[in-house]
């Protein structure tokens, strides 16, 4: 998807890289949109943000759509634009063949991310959406005392900001030899509940990413 071309065809006057606090923004000058992107973000992230800003332009351009989306909550509108962005970068038709696979793993995620030129996180969210199955990407980092969750995508609302690494999982991650792609069951906790997550792990030194394909309440807890 050539986003620059799409932006042009929608009347976007320019796409600028700037020093911003937010990832991107669209400003309207004399009725014409101009998109600004935060310059110091990774390329794949910037591409997603551009698609997100294009979604804002799309929603604003049709008067009926603009009127009907005007009253939406800020967060709802932002989520809507993320959906449109994901659909622009990873169209459903194209995603379906990946989403229909028997199982999801990190190499599938990398394949999608490379082809669509998006981040692993964006690919995970879209795969969960199109496949209608659990597909969460967690990023762990070794802090001085323990492993902590530093990033999450495709995580259901009730777990956002709540997932924690248990001491059992800390030990597992410490003892895991740095390597790509190995399956483990991770014990996590969220608001006092113990959860078992089937995870495909890629550990590199003090960081580890986990693609979680199922998560359930621990029957032993």
Listed residue (210, 203, 55, 87) closest to 138, CA to CA: 210
Among residues 81 and 112, whose Cβ is nearest to Zn ion? Answer: 81
Among residues 35 and 124, whose Cβ is nearest to Zn ion? Answer: 35
Report the DSSP pairing between strands 24-29 and 32-38.
antiparallel
Q: Interacting stretch for Zn ion, rule CB under 5 A, among 77-85, 95-103, 138-146, 190-198?
A: 77-85
Query: Which residue has tokens 């604003």?
Result: 60
Q: Interacting stretch for Zn ion, rule CB under 5 A, among 81-89, 104-112, 114-122, 148-156?
A: 81-89
Among residues 21 and 177, whose Cβ is nearest to Zn ion? Answer: 21
* Least distance in angstroms from the C-beta of 75 to Zn ion: 10
* Least distance in angstroms from the C-beta of 210 to Zn ion: 28
- Through-space distance between the first and last CA atoms of the chain, rounded to whole angstroms: 47
Among residues 81 and 88, whose Cβ is nearest to Zn ion? Answer: 81
Query: Which residue has tokens 């969460």?
Result: 136
For the segment 1-30, give every residue that binds Zn ion (CB under 5 A).
none
Output b/e per residue, 180-214; b: 16+ Cβ within 10 A.
eeeeeebbbbbeeeebbbbbbbbbeeebbbbbbbe
* Least distance in angstroms from the C-beta of 83 to Zn ion: 12
Q: Interacting stretch for Zn ion, rule CB under 5 A, among 80-88, 120-128, 179-187, 192-200?
A: 80-88
Burial of 84 (0-12, 13-18, 19+ CB in 10 A): middle
* Least distance in angstroms from the C-beta of 54 to Zn ion: 10
Q: Supply 81's token pair.
A: 């634009």
* Least distance in angstroms from the C-beta of 155 to Zn ion: 20
- Give me the residues that bind Zn ion (CB under 5 A), please: 78, 81
């Amino acid at each position: 998807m050539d986003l620059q071309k799409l932006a042009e065809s929608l009347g976007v006057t320019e796409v600028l890289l700037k020093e911003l606090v937010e990832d991107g923004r669209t400003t309207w000058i004399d009725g014409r949109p101009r998109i600004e992107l935060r310059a110091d973000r990774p390329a794949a992230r910037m591409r997603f943000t551009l698609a997100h800003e294009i979604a804002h332009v799309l929603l604003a351009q049709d008067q009926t759509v603009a009127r009907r989306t005007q009253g939406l909550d800020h967060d709802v509108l932002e989520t809507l634009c993320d959906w449109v962005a994901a659909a622009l970068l990873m169209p459903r038709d194209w995603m379906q063949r990946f989403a229909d696979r028997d199982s999801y793993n990190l190499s599938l995620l990398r394949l999608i991310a490379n082809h669509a030129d998006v981040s692993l996180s964006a690919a995970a969210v879209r795969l969960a959406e199109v496949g209608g199955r659990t597909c969460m990407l967690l990023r762990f980092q070794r802090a001085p005392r323990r492993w902590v969750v530093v990033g999450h995508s495709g995580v259901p609302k009730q777990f956002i900001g709540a997932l924690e690494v248990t001491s059992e999982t800390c030990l597992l991650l410490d003892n895991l030899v740095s390597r790509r792609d190995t399956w483990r069951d991770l014990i996590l906790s969220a608001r006092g509940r113990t959860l078992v997550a089937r995870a495909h792990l890629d550990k590199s030194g003090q960081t580890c990413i986990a693609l979680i394909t199922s998560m359930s309440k621990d029957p032993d807890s």
